[in-house]
Amino acid sequence: MHHVAILGSTGSIGTQALDVIAHHPELYRITALAAYHNDKLLETQIEKFNPSVAVLIDDRAAIRLRSRYHGSTKILTGEEGLLQAATLSATDTVLTAMVGASGIKPTIAAVEAGKNIALANKETLVAAGEIVTQLVREKGVQLLPVDSEHSALMQCLHGESPKTVKRLLITASGGPFRGYTTEQLKTITVEQCLRHPNWSMGKKITVDSATLVNKGLEVIEAKWLFGIDYDNIDVVVHPQSIVHSMVEFIDGSTIAQLGKPDMRLPIQYALTYPERLPSPAPIMDWNVMTSLEFMPPDKKTFRGLELAYRVGRSEGTMPCVFNAANEIAVNAFLSSKLPFLEITNIIEDTVNHHHNVIKPSLSAIFTADLWARNYAQELVARYEREIHR
Amino acid sequence: MHHVAILGSTGSIGTQALDVIAHHPELYRITALAAYHNDKLLETQIEKFNPSVAVLIDDRAAIRLRSRYHGSTKILTGEEGLLQAATLSATDTVLTAMVGASGIKPTIAAVEAGKNIALANKETLVAAGEIVTQLVREKGVQLLPVDSEHSALMQCLHGESPKTVKRLLITASGGPFRGYTTEQLKTITVEQCLRHPNWSMGKKITVDSATLVNKGLEVIEAKWLFGIDYDNIDVVVHPQSIVHSMVEFIDGSTIAQLGKPDMRLPIQYALTYPERLPSPAPIMDWNVMTSLEFMPPDKKTFRGLELAYRVGRSEGTMPCVFNAANEIAVNAFLSSKLPFLEITNIIEDTVNHHHNVIKPSLSAIFTADLWARNYAQELVARYEREIHR
């Protein structure tokens, strides 16, 4: 029996992870569930999976739940509750599926407590990749990606010698605006942006897909997960999202992982690695005429990708600042405070004004994160003032 | 230093294998070369690679070469010479790249002498799969495929548990006549047939690609190489020949091997397995717009594929008979004695009249092979008589 804690259980990844686990009740048991404030869904999950601990980070949500729920699961709250859920002694693997930089602390706490990590929170590696991967090595735990692209890379790399890897090829759907000109992007609405062609995901990552910032974050994540230089990580646009990524080897052979776009497959692989189990995910039907297209990304129009390479190569606190500025800009866009193209401008402006700290401590990272959020927020406010003048 | 013997060194696979080996002079040494009758090319190869032994199966070709060549390489001839070349004590790996059923005896001799086999002669497994794979297990040697499809499957399977394999998906270009109707196939010429869209190969295999008999032989080869039931081996048409085959796992994940069509890659992989080395093969350029298409094969028009499944499932001497009848029919087609569509008819007629021997000895296989050749030859002669009446 494998004991799993899920941080971010009411989100898109969290609910799909519970679907996977429900398919293998003889193999997995849920020890802890944590959510931000969706007390109703968390209550349903508690009733179905009966964890020892459940957390609502938001106090008021926790109060609401406690007033209704009187079962055996302990209801905790706040960051302290989250850290407890991340480090329960009964847990083998923690699936970290929180949105954004809030995943960093609980992930590190879980690694320090000797837990294997199924990582759905790429921001942890973007902001604190060096610290986290170093700690993972020290503690001898496994850090397994849940992102479909990184799961694909891990599957392609499995059984191969690291020294024979030439290049990682991360595929990108290109998002809903593939082929758009800068002019066309000026009038994008939030609604258009949230209509992703292939994947049903949370709002934040859907916007990140449209700007290609998500692909940039994935490049940085891949660098830390697999220890590959940025020069040897490329992005290939593949609109159908069937090939989830590829690895090119020194002999010229390329290994690719394919499947229907369904996050339950990479979630399950992170739990069963290096084994495989039957999964609820649908399989490819090759009796149907299928066409898979590949093309280079339009880096000039979608500048977020190049910016990510730039901050990645700069190292230090730069990737953290890139990520924090993006979170602020995306939130502003989702609240209709900012047009689509301004997201990348705000990231670039913030990155350009940041004093990079090389080999940062965790506290230097949090300081940079806070600085970037304030700076980006100020840029959003300035944009709004100028617009309303 | 790895010592390699190449049987069939002047053919398409043999010359490309020598190109691969010439790229790694520090790693590989040629111990023996064998060819049918191309004494000029063999002489050039002897001068370049200086093997201890070289064989010309054809007596007259050997006499020609001996009259010119006076170096240190021992020139042998006939089947006896071939078997000596296959079993030299200095050899680690024998690359068997002879055309057709003539590869069976030297391959078995090499396995019995404890050599690893890089198998480019699929007919060996088609005709004698059970005997050869059993012997390979007994002798504890490696049997590594050189066919691009089987090399792809081996790469996709590497590091995975056999029990998690759901299905092998062998890709097929569909040959030069993909999309043709039976009516259109009636008037095919030898010249049209030899124009394969993606691969430059020997004549026999090029015709086999056009009839899909080659894909049928590959299905049987895959069954023996990987121990997978025919029900779990499917063929997918992929006109671009970039994806060389795929493996579908029980979790719904599919692993594919991709690369430009260049036989030097699978040849080298068979020599370096499970490692990889830099290779002379070109790599994929993903900066170019690429479209990969997949569709089911037209089994009604190209009946050779279904026939192969049928003889494969029948086991015994049936696959051997299928292969032998095909060799005769393809030769007759190449000599313009038989129209294209008659190839499959002759195979079917021969198979239908064969009394299957289950669990055959090697001599029963050779008896069936000879019977099938005579029977098919008789069908060709009958066809010619009827045409000229």
For A46-74, how does the pLDDT look when each residue is reduced to its tens digit (9 = 90+)? 999 999 999 999 999 999 999 999 999 99
Distance between CA atoms of A203 and A35, rounded to whole angstroms? 16
Report yes or no: B54 at the A interface, CB cutoff 8 Å.
no
B276·A160 Cβ contact <8 A: yes
CA of A279: which chain B residue's CA is closest?
B251
Residues making up chain B, counted from first to last = 389
Name the one residue in this structure whose structure tokens are 């859920």: A85
Residue in A203, A172, A215 with CA at minimum distance from that of residue A308: A215
CA of A294: which chain B residue's CA is closest?
B290
CA of B284: which chain A residue's CA is closest?
A252
Query: Tokens representing B327?
Result: 């060799």
Contact A117, A94 (CB under 8 A): yes
For B249-263, how does the pLDDT look when each residue is reduced to its tens digit (9 = 90+)? 999 999 999 999 999
Give B289's contacts in chain A (Cβ within 8 Å): 293-295
Distance between CA atoms of A53 and A33, rounded to whole angstroms? 7
Residues making up chain A, counted from first to last = 389
Please compute the mean of the pLDDT values over residues B370-381 and round it to a whole number: 98
Point out the residue among B236, B255, B262 whose CB comes nearest to the CB of A286.
Answer: B236
Residue in B39, B44, B69, B71 with CA at minimum distance from that of residue B57: B39
B257·A260 Cβ contact <8 A: no
Residue A94 identity (one-letter amino acid): V
Report yes or no: B234 at the A interface, CB cutoff 8 Å.
yes
Residue in B341, B320, B319 with CA at minimum distance from that of residue B330: B341
What's phi and psi for A364, nearest 5 deg? -65, -35
Chain A nearest C-alpha distance from B62 (Å): 37
The pLDDT assigned to A200 comes to 67
Distance between CA atoms of B362 and B367, rounded to whole angstroms? 9
B252·A161 Cβ contact <8 A: no
Q: Order of strands across the sheet with B2-7?
A: B74-77, B53-56, B28-35, B2-7, B93-96, B116-119, B143-145
Distance between CA atoms of A111 and B2, rounded to whole angstroms? 45
Report yes or no: B229 at the A interface, CB cutoff 8 Å.
no
Distance between CA atoms of B351 and B371, rounded to whole angstroms? 11
Chain A nearest C-alpha distance from B157 (Å): 9
Residue A117: partners with Cβ closer than 8 Å, 6 or more residues away = A93, A94, A96, A107, A110, A111, A136, A141, A142, A143, A144
Point out the residue among B278, B287, B296 whose CB comes nearest to the CB of A286.
Answer: B296
Please compute the mean of the pLDDT values over residues B337-364 and round it to a whole number: 97
Residue B198 has pLDDT above 90, yes or no: no
Question: pLDDT band at B200, cuts 50/70/90?
Answer: low
List the beta bridge partners of residue B234: B169
Following CA atoms B304, B16, B267, B86 in sequence, which dihedral angle do they give, to the nearest 10 degrees? 90
What's phi and psi for A169, nearest 5 deg? -115, 100
B289·A292 Cβ contact <8 A: no
Query: Tokens representing A335?
Result: 């609240």
ipTM: 0.95
Chain A nearest C-alpha distance from B218 (Å): 19
Residue A6: partners with Cβ closer than 8 Å, 6 or more residues away = A14, A17, A18, A30, A32, A33, A34, A94, A95, A97
B253·A262 Cβ contact <8 A: no
Task: Give DSSP secondary structure letters for A60-82.
Answer: HHHHHHHHH--SSSEEEEHHHHH
For A301-327, how does the pLDDT look when each residue is reduced to its tens digit (9 = 90+)? 999 999 999 999 999 999 999 999 999
Report yes or no: A252 at the B interface, CB cutoff 8 Å.
yes
* Interface size between A and B, measured as CB pairs under 8 A: 151
Residue A355: partners with Cβ closer than 8 Å, 6 or more residues away = none
Point out the residue among A243, A260, A276 whose CB comes nearest to the CB of B250.
Answer: A276
Is the link from the previous residue into A274 a cis peptide, with omega within 30 of 0?
yes
B277·A251 Cβ contact <8 A: yes
* Other beta carbons less than 10 A from residue A314's beta carbon: 16
Distance between CA atoms of A194 and A147, rounded to whole angstroms? 19
Q: Which of residues 87-106 of B touch A (CB under 8 A)?
A: none
For B278-313, how does the pLDDT look when each residue is reduced to its tens digit (9 = 90+)? 998 899 999 999 999 999 999 999 999 999 999 999
Residue B112 has pLDDT above 90, yes or no: yes
The CA-atom distances, in angstroms, between A34 and each of A46, A74, A76, B385 are 10, 11, 9, 83
What's phi and psi for B116, nearest 5 deg? -75, 145
B160·A159 Cβ contact <8 A: yes
Following CA atoms B190, B193, B194, B198 in sequence, which dihedral angle do they give, to the nearest 10 degrees? 170
Give A159's contacts in chain B (Cβ within 8 Å): 158-160, 274
Report yes or no: B161 at the A interface, CB cutoff 8 Å.
yes
Report yes or no: B259 at the A interface, CB cutoff 8 Å.
yes
Distance between CA atoms of A253 and A37, rounded to whole angstroms? 47
- What does pTM read for this prediction? 0.95
- A30 burial level (CB within 10 Å; 0-12, 13-18, 19+): buried
Report yes or no: A158 at the B interface, CB cutoff 8 Å.
yes
Instruction: Find the helix packing angle between A213-226 and A342-352, rounded to 10°.
Output: 50
Chain B nearest C-alpha distance from A135 (Å): 27
Residue in B207, B186, B188 with CA at minimum distance from that of residue B196: B207
What's phi and psi for A298, nearest 5 deg? -90, 85
Q: How is residue A283 annotated by DSSP?
A: P
Residue in A168, A185, A5 with CA at minimum distance from that of residue A85: A5
Residue-wise burial string across A198-216, b where 16 or more C-beta atoms lie within 10 A, e elsewhere: bbebebbbbbbbbbbbbbb
- Per the prediction, chain A carries an average pLDDT of 95
Helix (H, G, I), strand (E, B) or coil at A7: strand
Residue B370: partners with Cβ closer than 8 Å, 6 or more residues away = B324
For B319-349, how does the pLDDT look when each residue is reduced to its tens digit (9 = 90+)? 999 999 999 999 999 999 999 999 999 999 9
Chain B nearest C-alpha distance from A147 (Å): 14
Distance between CA atoms of A304 and B4, rounded to whole angstroms? 51
- A26 burial level (CB within 10 Å; 0-12, 13-18, 19+): exposed
Report yes or no: A19 at the B interface, CB cutoff 8 Å.
no
Residue B257 identity (one-letter amino acid): Q
Contact B379, B331 (CB under 8 A): no
Instruction: Find the helix packing angle between A318-334 and A213-226, rounded to 10°.
Output: 150
Point out the residue among A164, A253, A296 whose CB comes nearest to the CB of B286.
Answer: A296
Residue in A219, A231, A160, A172 with CA at minimum distance from that of residue A198: A172
Q: Which of residues 260-299 of B touch A (CB under 8 A)?
A: 260, 262, 265, 268-269, 272, 274-279, 281-284, 286-287, 289-296
The pLDDT assigned to B82 comes to 97
- Per the prediction, chain B carries an average pLDDT of 95
A286·B293 Cβ contact <8 A: no
Residue in B137, B119, B293, B301 with CA at minimum distance from that of residue B220: B119
B255·A256 Cβ contact <8 A: yes
Chain B nearest C-alpha distance from A241 (Å): 13
B293·A289 Cβ contact <8 A: yes
For chain A, the helix, strand and coil percentages under 3-state DSSP, each to the nearest 5: 50, 15, 35
Pairing of strands B53-56, B74-77: parallel
A277·B251 Cβ contact <8 A: yes
Residues (pLDDT < 50) of chain A are none
Point out the residue among A255, A286, A295 whose CB comes nearest to the CB of B255.
Answer: A255
Pairing of strands B93-96, B116-119: parallel
A169·B265 Cβ contact <8 A: no
